[in-house]
Structure 1
Amino acid sequence: MMEDIVDDVDRKLISLFAAEPRVGVLEASRRLGVARGTVQARLDKLSSSGVITGWGPDLSPDALGFGVTAFLTLEISQSAGHERVADQLAGIPEVLEAYTITGAGDLWCRVVSRSNADLQRVIDTVLAIEGVQRASTVMALATQVPFRVLPLLEASTTTP
């Protein structure tokens, strides 16, 4: 449970690095009023436990020229296997994420493309994967709430 993994110092540390990713361990220790070794040990613990999953820069597909976002619900043949299809999806740069789902369809993918016409190429590439039988596509018109996880950190301080 997150309460067992993340305490108040960890929350402050994560919030600081989320707001200012380039702050550095020494400056973080100064701002939080804890020893540099404590900051480093906490960051190491949070990384090794999987709470912090990455340190790289967040990239904007739009700024890279991929301004169209769509969501594909894929139906796959039962003999194809989710992992085999997912391995092929991972080879398509425009596939940003893929999940096995319940309900209508078997896999859900978020994809990007350079244009609406280019989206057809991406869909055709996905449909060419052995085992993918059908794709249902929904295009995103505007981002209302971008992907975020930080609010969960704050929510973890309250008990239901």
Structure 2
Amino acid sequence: MNGVDDFDIQILKELEKDGRMAYSAIATTLGVSNTMVHQRISRLTEQGILTGIKPVLDEKKIGYDWGAFTGITLEKDHDSNRIIEELKKIPEVTECYYITGNYTLYIKIVAKNHEHMRKVLYEKIDNISGIAKTDSIIELGCAFKRNLIL
């Protein structure tokens, strides 16, 4: 597993339970020193395996009741980097993937209601130069969302 040993996996499992967990608590749970946990987390971060500890928001609980997955067809695929930079400027676009198949990009959009979703799609996304068409599927709720289980 690319520079990850069993001890690293144990640390990652502890962080998965609570990303705010103190290194000392992880050290106590695993029976090792604080320094060792700190060094391991630093190495995992430097290697890009651990990309950060950030809050996970429940969008619905903060008023964003609508979600959509949208496939984007580009006029020219080589414009994808520029279009991705434009998509990053839209706060309601929370995820963006390169995919194979009928679309070049696949994004996740969150919105407060159907009118907000319409504005995001038609006034923000469709106005990005180089987007030929979008195809959206409304999500009705998340059954589960998780990191890879190690």
Give me the TM-score of the superposition, normalised by structure 2. Answer: 0.93
The CA deviation string for residues 91-142 of structure 1, in whole angstroms up to 9 with x for no partner, is 0000001122211121111101001121111101100001111110100112
Q: Which amino acid aligns with 1:108?
A: Y
Identity %: 27
Q: Secondary structure at the match of 2:62?
A: coil
What RMSD, in angstroms, separates the aligned Cα atoms of the two structures?
1.4
Query: 1:114 corresponds to which residue?
Result: 112
Q: 2:43 aligns with which of 31, 42, 45?
A: 45
Does residue 87 of structure 1 match 2:68? no
Q: How far apart are the structure 2 equivalents of 1:139 and 1:96?
A: 15
Q: Point out where structure 1 has 5 or more consecutive residues left out of the alignment.
A: 154-160
Query: 1:141 corresponds to which residue?
Result: 140
TM superposition outliers: structure 1 runs of 4+ over 3 Å: none
- Offset, 1:38: 0.6
Q: How far apart are the structure 2 equivalents of 1:129 and 1:85?
A: 7
- Once the two structures are overlaid, the 10-residue window that deviates more, 35-44 or 51-60, is 51-60
Q: How far apart are the structure 2 equivalents of 1:42 and 1:132?
A: 43
Aligned residues: 149
Q: Secondary structure at the match of 2:121?
A: helix
Give me the TM-score of the superposition, normalised by structure 1. Answer: 0.87
Q: Secondary structure at the match of 1:21?
A: coil
Q: 1:12 aligns with which of 10, 13, 33?
A: 10
- Offset, 1:64: 2.0
